[in-house]
Amino acid sequence: MQSKVMYLSDLKFNIDTWKRELRFHFNEMDTFQEKLEEIVPRVEGDISKKKLEVFQNRILIEKDAISKLMHRCRNKIANINNADFNENIDGRLQNEQRTLKEDMRTYIKLHYDLKEELMDFFLEVL
């Protein structure tokens, strides 16, 4: 049982860390959205205007993805708080952890790809 408590504590730490990172990314997307709105009058050319619109849409999509991941993290924390200490550690909780971990890894990669593209766009139009 002691190993189960330690495992759940480590799992909760990971999820709390992900939640903090997701909140940071959500705020970062707000900042990027504000910057896009600020540069709208300075953007010239149809191609640049289309890129701007695409980035605005991608920010909305990313914020939605963040919200869904936050919801999954909250559900996971609820599962941890209601864990059956007699349940096998290699069971449901661990399998759910792997899926969330993989989704977080994918999300973080996509986030930094978008961030890099946005920064390149800002350099291009400013």
pLDDT on residue 111: 97
**Structural domain count of the chain:** 1
Q: What does the block give as tokens for 28?
A: 């970062």
Instruction: Look over the chain and give the mean of its residue pLDDT values, rounded to a whole number.
Output: 87
Q: What does the block give as tokens for 125?
A: 């139009």
pLDDT on residue 93: 55
Residue 79 CA to residue 82 CA, distance in Å, equals: 5
Reduced to 3 states, what is the DSSP secondary structure of residue 12?
helix
CB distance 37 to 122 below 8 Å: no
Q: Cite the DSSP H helix spans in the chain.
A: 2-39, 46-81, 92-125
The phi and psi torsions of 113 (rounded to 5 degrees) equal -65, -45
Q: Find the domain containing 107 and state its range.
A: 2-125
Residue 8 CA to residue 10 CA, distance in Å, equals: 5
**Which are the contacts of 102, defined by CB distance < 8 A and separation ≥ 6?**
none
Q: What does the block give as tokens for 24?
A: 């940071």
pLDDT, tens digit (0-9, with 9 covering 90-100), for 48-98:
899 999 999 999 999 999 999 999 999 989 888 887 666 555 555 555 556
